[in-house]
């Protein structure tokens, strides 16, 4: 199963992706976390140091061949994962898309193609769960980077601009082959916050599946440079993320496939 995570900047995509990745890995699943942000920081949310992640090279654009069916890897997916992933806490395998090294070097179209090709070839590993932490932009959808995902999770805060971003990305996703598009309400301080997101989703026929409450522990964990799952493992936020995992990957038991 391949799950892409999107939403407005600051909505909580990376915290959600990192926490969900480790929770799913703890359930016995083989988990790959892809940092598809050109300003990558998923490693920190997972508990991987800057020094460690620098030792793992970005997948080169030469890995990709193009055809009428879209980009594909020209090397076995297992070999690519062996060379370009780092094992994070709880056994999550982390891979980063790429980032600009210099100013004025142009777009990162080829890096997007690498991610698209990886997602396509991961069909050969059906028992693996892949989480794709996308950047705060609809570019992954306009470029088709996430078109091979089975589900798109849109993280929504109870604010107008966040909800408008969710609406746009849901509309773009509906034009792709992504199998399921869902909304997760995040940072809800009150029932009225959740009610506002619920009304918005009802108005635009969006599938709202879960609520994650506001948690000061998320900010405290970030200030301590510690993953939320290590800082406050029994927090309501972690429990809510676990609920989302159970909804999206209900067969999260050792030896069971998606």
Tell me the DSSP string of 176-206: S--SEEEEEEEEE-SHHHHHHHHHHHHHTT-
Dump pLDDT digits (tens) for 111-127. 778 888 888 888 889 89
What pLDDT is stored for residue 109 in this prediction?
64
Q: What is the pLDDT of residue 252?
A: 41
Identify the segments of the chain with pLDDT beneath 50: 100, 102, 252-258
Give the pLDDT of residue 48: 96
Q: What is the pLDDT of residue 102?
A: 43
* Distance, C-alpha 79 to centroid of its chain: 22
In the chain, domain spans:
2-248
Query: How far, in Å, CA of 127 to CA of 23, rounded?
Result: 16
User: Could you count the other beta carbons within 10 Å of the beta carbon of residue 217?
Assistant: 17
Q: What top-level class would CATH report for the domain 2-248?
A: alpha beta
């Amino acid at each position: 199963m391949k799950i892409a995570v999107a939403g407005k900047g600051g909505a909580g995509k990376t915290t959600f992706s990192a926490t969900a990745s480790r929770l799913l890995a703890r359930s016995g699943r083989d988990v790959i976390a892809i940092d598809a942000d050109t300003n990558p920081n998923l490693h920190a949310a997972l508990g991987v140091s800057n020094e460690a992640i620098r030792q793992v090279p970005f997948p080169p654009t030469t890995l990709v061949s193009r055809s009428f069916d879209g980009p594909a890897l020209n090397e076995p997916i297992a070999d690519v994962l062996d060379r370009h992933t780092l094992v994070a806490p709880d056994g999550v395998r982390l891979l980063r898309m790429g980032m600009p090294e210099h100013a004025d070097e142009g777009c990162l179209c080829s890096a997007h193609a690498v991610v698209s090709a990886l997602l396509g070839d991961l069909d050969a590993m059906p028992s693996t769960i892949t989480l794709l932490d996308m950047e705060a932009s609809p570019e992954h959808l306009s470029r088709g980077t996430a078109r091979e995902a089975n589900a798109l999770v849109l993280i929504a805060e109870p604010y107008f601009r966040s909800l408008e971003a969710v609406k746009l990305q849901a509309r773009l996703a509906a034009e792709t082959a992504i199998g399921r598009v869902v909304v997760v309400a995040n940072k809800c301080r009150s029932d009225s916050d959740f009610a506002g997101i619920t009304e918005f989703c009802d108005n635009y026929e969006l599938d709202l599946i879960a609520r994650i409450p506001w948690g000061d522990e998320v900010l405290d964990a970030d200030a301590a440079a510690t993953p939320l799952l290590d800082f406050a493992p029994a927090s309501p936020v972690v429990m809510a993320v676990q609920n989302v995992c159970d909804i999206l990957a209900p067969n999260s038991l050792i030896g069971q496939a998606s």
